[in-house]
């Protein structure tokens, strides 16, 4: 699973003109599910998102986690994170998991985050969404469950 996380002061996602998810301080997380991803990949990203120290302390250093600041997560599915762009002029999405598999892991990720007490809002899987955000910093990181330490 790949995730792009952005530290935000606010973020929202709308579908067909209706806001379906919105947060204040926290993380906007775009997540893409690859073929072969499973529950272990989901657990890895959930733990990393909760404990990754990217929020500033009193000295302006990134020493605080989402848990430390009581932030929320806006989770948005984005299969284009798995797009290969090396050949031709059109991306290939062969590495993306089939929609039913991806939906299951996306929903599992949201449920696992909620089970930890994290406030989670979501986009709508497979919908055309409009995402608005105020990136704080800007601070943006990429996480890949396949690059986790052994």
In tens, the pLDDT along 48-67 reads 999 999 999 999 999 999 99
Q: Is residue 150 part of a domain?
A: no
140 belongs to the catalytic site: no
What range does the domain containing 83 cover? 2-145
State the Cα–Cα distance between residues 13 and 150, nearest whole angstrom. Answer: 35
Q: Is residue 23 part of a domain?
A: yes
State the Cα–Cα distance between residues 7 and 123, nearest whole angstrom. Answer: 17
Number of domains in the chain: 1
22 belongs to the catalytic site: no
Q: Return the percentage of the chain with pLDDT > 70, whole number.
A: 99
79 belongs to the catalytic site: yes
What is the b/e burial string over 91-119, where b = at least 16 CB atoms within 10 angstroms of the residue's CB? eeeebbbeeebbebbbebbbebbeeeebe
Catalytic residue among 6, 78, 118, 122: 78
Q: Is residue 18 part of a domain?
A: yes
Residue 116: give its domain's CATH number: 3.50.80.10
Q: How confident is the model at residue 150 (pLDDT cuts 50, 70, 90)?
A: low
Catalytic residue among 80, 116, 140, 142: 80
The pLDDT tens digits for 109-118 are 999 999 999 9
Give pTM, 2 decimals: 0.95
Please state, as a whole number, how many other Cβ atoms lie within 10 Å of the Cβ of residue 146. 11
């Amino acid at each position: 699973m790949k995730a792009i996380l952005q530290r935000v002061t606010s973020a929202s996602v709308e579908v067909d003109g209706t806001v379906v998810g919105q947060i204040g301080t926290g993380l906007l997380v775009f997540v893409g599910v690859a073929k072969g991803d499973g529950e272990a990949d989901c657990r890895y990203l959930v733990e990393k998102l909760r404990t990754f120290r990217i929020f500033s302390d009193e000295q302006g250093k990134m020493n605080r986690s989402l848990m430390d600041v009581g932030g929320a997560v806006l989770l948005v599915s984005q299969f284009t994170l798995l797009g290969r762009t090396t050949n031709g002029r059109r991306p290939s999405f062969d590495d993306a998991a089939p929609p039913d598999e991806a939906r299951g892991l996306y929903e599992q990720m949201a449920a696992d985050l909620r089970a930890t007490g994290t406030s989670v809002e979501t986009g709508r899987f497979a919908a055309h969404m409009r995402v608005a955000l105020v990136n704080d910093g800007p601070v943006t990181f990429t996480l890949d469950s396949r690059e986790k330490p052994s």
